[in-house]
Homo-oligomer: A and B are copies of this chain.
Amino acid sequence: MPMSTADAPSANGGDIMKWTDSVFEPREPAGFMRLRNTIFRPCKAIPGLWIAWRRKFSYYSCEQNRRRTRTSTEEDPVKKLRLGIIGTGIAARELHLPALRALKDRFEIVHVASRTPANARRFARMAGGVPWTDDYRELLRNPAVEAVDIVAPISLNLPATRAAVAAGKHVFVEKPLAGNLPDARRMCALARSARTVCYIAENYRHHPVYLRVRDLLRAGTIGRPYAWDWHAWYHMRNDDKYAKTRWRRHNRHIGGLVTDVGVHYIAALRMWFGELEPTAAWVRSVNPVIGDTDTFSMTARAPRGVRGTFSIFFTACGCSDNALTVFGTKGTLSVVWDRITVRIPGKKPRTVTVPDDGGFRGEFAEFHRAVTAGGKFINTFAEGYRDLETMLRALALAGRTAGARSGA
């Protein structure tokens, strides 16, 4: 049976919607064939030819696969990357560590740094009793460390990345890229000159729910999209673990919580619709205890005439809602948390719940591939820059051009 290893374009949305089990283990659509970890589709032009259509466990779009310099399959023996963790706060403990544990065949934590010794010690114990330090420069001098995960207050991103690149380490750094655009540009310059991989940890570009949305939109499931509405309304109490963080409460970075969390949504919107041009925005500080910016709404324009609104509130008392609606010429797609519903006139609405790990495993897996296999990857600093720049342009339209502690 002749086979092509080229990836085929996405199937139509109908087939994608039939996968009610998991994105990680897709069931092959009717007429398709599964061989080990790959699903093949019959070639329409040449009967008898099967074309590789989708890989199990693949977080990649077909485009990214095509661009990769080396095509590795999951069966290849993987090189374990020795990782140093810089910053041991909530995100490191609760978001990164579980993902790294799930990918323990690919990552080994070998050193931990936090300026708070108690935190460093605690995290080092959680990571299996590895060495720890209260000075990340000490970690960077450790020759066993090949790559660092910088998951620290935003203002540390630039100095820590600079030092890590100078020490020849690969860098995986938490979004947002920086707290302001000049620093973000310095980050991009570092990435351009670095001989190591500089990776921005934007998990929404690997988020199973939002990748599924991307696939459905690309497959034309709702026709041509012309508008979206996305609102994320949360109630962050004063005693919330994130709200209690000093650098969040007294935010030096522009836009406080709104920027810190908002760049995720911008990243997803850019993935679906292309570059956004903010056209209007407003901003409020309803509860100054949780930072100088907690309420934000923007409208933006995307290529091909797509328009939409994105709003993020951290002060929606008693309310918790995350709802995206995309309007297309043939139907409407809505996402409420991890539940995607497609409505097409005259048909029964179809709903799929996508198992959702937040995209953390996906981003670490991509970072590992970028370091060990080389080639292109999605989460470049340039992408992180565009997420942040879009967010800050919208905030500027709303008159927010400085952080609370920046003295500007």
Given A227-B284, A227-B295, do A317 and B222 touch, yes or no (CB 8 Å)? Answer: yes
CB-defined contacts of A327 to chain B, threshold 8 Å: 233, 295, 313, 315-317, 319
CB-defined contacts of A222 to chain B, threshold 8 Å: 317
A299 within 8 Å of B by Cβ? yes
Interface contact B344-A332, CB-CB below 8 Å: no
CB-defined contacts of A332 to chain B, threshold 8 Å: 233, 316-319
CB-defined contacts of A331 to chain B, threshold 8 Å: 317-318
- Give the contacting residue for A343; candidates B231, B295, B318; CB below 8 A: B318
Interface contact B299-A233, CB-CB below 8 Å: no
CB-defined contacts of A343 to chain B, threshold 8 Å: 317-319
Interface contact A307-B297, CB-CB below 8 Å: yes
In the complex, per-residue mask of A304-328: 1 if CB is within 8 Å of any chain B CB, else 0: 0101010101011111000001011
Cα distance, A331 to B315, chains bound together (Å): 9
Max chain B C-beta neighbours (<10 A), residue from A222, A227, A305? A227
In the complex, per-residue mask of A293-306: 1 if CB is within 8 Å of any chain B CB, else 0: 00101010100010
CB-defined contacts of A295 to chain B, threshold 8 Å: 226-227, 327
Max chain B C-beta neighbours (<10 A), residue from A231, A286, A334? A286
Interface contact B329-A286, CB-CB below 8 Å: yes
CB-defined contacts of A325 to chain B, threshold 8 Å: 233, 316, 319
CB-defined contacts of A282 to chain B, threshold 8 Å: 279, 299, 301, 307
Interface contact B229-A311, CB-CB below 8 Å: yes
Cα distance, A297 to B231, chains bound together (Å): 14
- Give the contacting residue for A349; candidates B286, B318, B349; CB below 8 A: B318
Interface contact B305-A284, CB-CB below 8 Å: yes
Cα distance, A331 to B317, chains bound together (Å): 5
CB-defined contacts of A349 to chain B, threshold 8 Å: 318
Cα distance, A325 to B316, chains bound together (Å): 10
A280 within 8 Å of B by Cβ? yes
Interface contact A309-B307, CB-CB below 8 Å: no
Give the distance to chain B from A155, nearest Cβ to Cβ, in Å: 30
> Which B-chain residue is minimally distant from A308 (CB atoms)?
B297
Additional A-B contact list (11), CB under 8 Å, known A282-B307, A317-B329: A223-B317, A227-B297, A229-B231, A237-B345, A282-B299, A284-B307, A317-B330, A317-B331, A318-B345, A319-B327, A319-B334
User: What would 21 A/B residue contacts be, using CB atoms closer than 8 Å?
Assistant: A226-B284, A226-B315, A227-B284, A227-B313, A229-B311, A233-B327, A233-B332, A280-B280, A282-B299, A282-B307, A286-B329, A297-B299, A297-B307, A317-B344, A317-B345, A318-B343, A318-B346, A318-B347, A318-B349, A319-B334, A319-B343
